[in-house]
Amino acid sequence: MDFIYFDNSATSFPKAPGLGKAMGEHIDNNGFNICRGSYEKSYQLQGTIIETKERMCSIFGFDLPQNVIFCSGATFGLNLIIKGILKPGDHIITSSMEHNSVARPVTAMKNKGIIWDVAECRKDGSLDPSAIEALICKNTKLVLLTHASNVSGNMMPIDEISVICKKHGVFFALDAAQTAGSEIIHMNNNNIDALVLPGHKGLLGPQGIGAVLLSARFASELDTIIEGGTGSLSDNFEMPSFMPDKFETGTLNLPGIIGLAHSLEYIENLGINEINFKKRNLTEKFISGILDIPHVSLSGIKSMDMRCSVISLNFKNIDNSNAAYLLEKDHGIITRCGLHCSPMSHKTLGTYPLGTVRFSIGLFNTEKEVDNAISAINEIVKKHQ
Ligand SMILES: Cc1ncc(COP(=O)(O)O)c(C=O)c1O
């Protein structure tokens, strides 16, 4: 590769080895539909889809494969949860580090009569669980949190918060867009009612596929947000109430699911702990390499505790957008610059409206690439003193 890719928070690259081949083989040899045809090949494919849901359950500590809903990605999953569960008068609590895929649907629902409170995070992006508990009131229906910030990389204290939610009988939903595939997430042990997973980031799958895992209680209270054919109870205009048909309507992205099945197998074989170890070491190396560079600051949490492999920098003597441009032009280093679809986070971190240059480390980055990035940052800073 003649470039160094540090934009894995947007989408991972490269993908799981062999992903394109697995998807191509499916499309060329097996591109049937499921839940519609009563022929052998359709049943076989349906079996593969169910096995993929079982694999999801084994990776994410869940025991209801029928409550794994495939969808187009995290944005769709978050919309389903927010719009399907909240009714006028209901109260939702989020943190002040959420992505627009939470902030925008919640705002749309606010315009329809729901109440939204934001638990303010500290200036480094971290959240005190008591800030959530203090906001819970009698009409609180849902606490929805990002597991890790896509701007600063800090992780939310979900163990404590899920216990608080359980104590108050409030649903707890987790946006695992930045952690799925590299942090251990246990749906049952963490009392998670709804877990949102994009397939194309840390899970190393293709774009356009993701999943939502729903607890039995949450799934039964959740309303549909789209309706249509399921291949079941076809003589009825009402949506089936059983899972997964209640929420999986229309033809699924089967090539995407086959791709995800391939990448999940790869991840399971490697082990999440191993992946976490590798990304954590690279992140630590990166952070310790830039902390002493003058005129560059790390946004948010400095310590390695409670953080993932997302690193946001603020250049003082040069525009962040110019720094990102020079990183690519002179050093072949690809980053992302700006607000990263999360203005709330930048307001919390004090980097609004200019944003940051984000380096997001992936499984396939190397120590040499991290060294190259540190020297490139040094060089850009020196040239602009
Ligand atoms: C924290 C967070 N939530 C949700 C999303 C939305 O994910 P997608 O664009 O895959 O739907 C992102 C995307 O970057 C994200 O970082």
**Which CATH number is 9's domain given?**
3.90.1150.10
Cis peptide before 353 (omega within 30 of 0): yes
* 223-227 own/partner pairs: CB under 8 Å, 24+ apart: 223/84, 223/85, 224/84, 224/249, 225/79, 225/80, 225/83, 225/84, 226/250
Spacing, Cα 99 to ligand 1 middle (Å): 7
Same domain, 171 and 128: yes
**Mean pLDDT, range 365-383, rounded to an integer:** 97
Last residue of a domain, one of 270, 302, 329: 270
Supply the pLDDT for residue 1: 67
| pLDDT (0 to 100) of residue 210 | 98
State whether 162 and 216 are in the same domain: yes
Segment 204-213 mean pLDDT: 98
Q: How far apart, in whole angstroms, are the C-alpha atoms of residue 17 and residue 204?
A: 9
Ligand 1 neighbour 253 (Cβ under 6 A): no
Within a 10 A sphere around the Cβ of 233, how many other Cβ atoms? 13
pLDDT tens track for 316-350: 999 999 999 999 999 999 999 999 999 999 999 99
Please tell me whether residues 346 and 249 are part of one structural domain.
no
Domain shared by 222 and 289, yes or no? no
Please give the pLDDT value at position 38. 85
CA-to-CA separations, 366 to 32, 151, 167, 317, 372, in angstroms, rounded: 39, 21, 44, 28, 10
Mean pLDDT of the chain: 97
Average pLDDT estimate for 205-216:
98
Are residues 264 and 306 located together in one domain of the fold?
no
C-alpha of 80 from chain center:
15
Q: Could you tell me if 104 and 184 lie in one domain?
A: yes
125 with 258, same domain?
yes
CB count within 10 Å of CB 17 equals 13
DSSP string, 43-77: HHHHHHHHHHHHHHHHHTT---GGGEEEES-HHHH
Q: Range of 201's domain?
A: 19-270
Name the pTM for this structure: 0.97
- Cβ–Cβ < 8 Å for 199, 205: yes
Q: 101 CB under 6 A from ligand 1?
A: yes
Domain boundary among the residues 270, 303, 331 is at 270
For a ligand 1 pocket test, name from 9, 95, 150 the mutation site with the most ligand atoms within 8 angstroms of its C-beta: 150
Q: Which of 247, 270, 293 is the last residue of a domain?
A: 270
50-69 pLDDT per residue, tens: 999 999 999 999 999 999 99
Q: Which residues contact 111 (CB under 8 A, 6 or more apart)?
A: none
Whole-angstrom CA distances from 363 to 201, 271, 367 are 10, 12, 11
CB neighbour list of residue 278: distance below 8 Å, 6 or more residues apart = 363
Q: Give the domain CATH number at 246.
A: 3.40.640.10
pLDDT digits (tens, 9 = 90+) for 274-321: 999 999 999 999 999 999 999 999 999 988 989 999 999 999 999 999
Looking at the structure of the chain, the number of domains it has is 2
Asked if 206 and 145 sit in the same domain, the reply is: yes
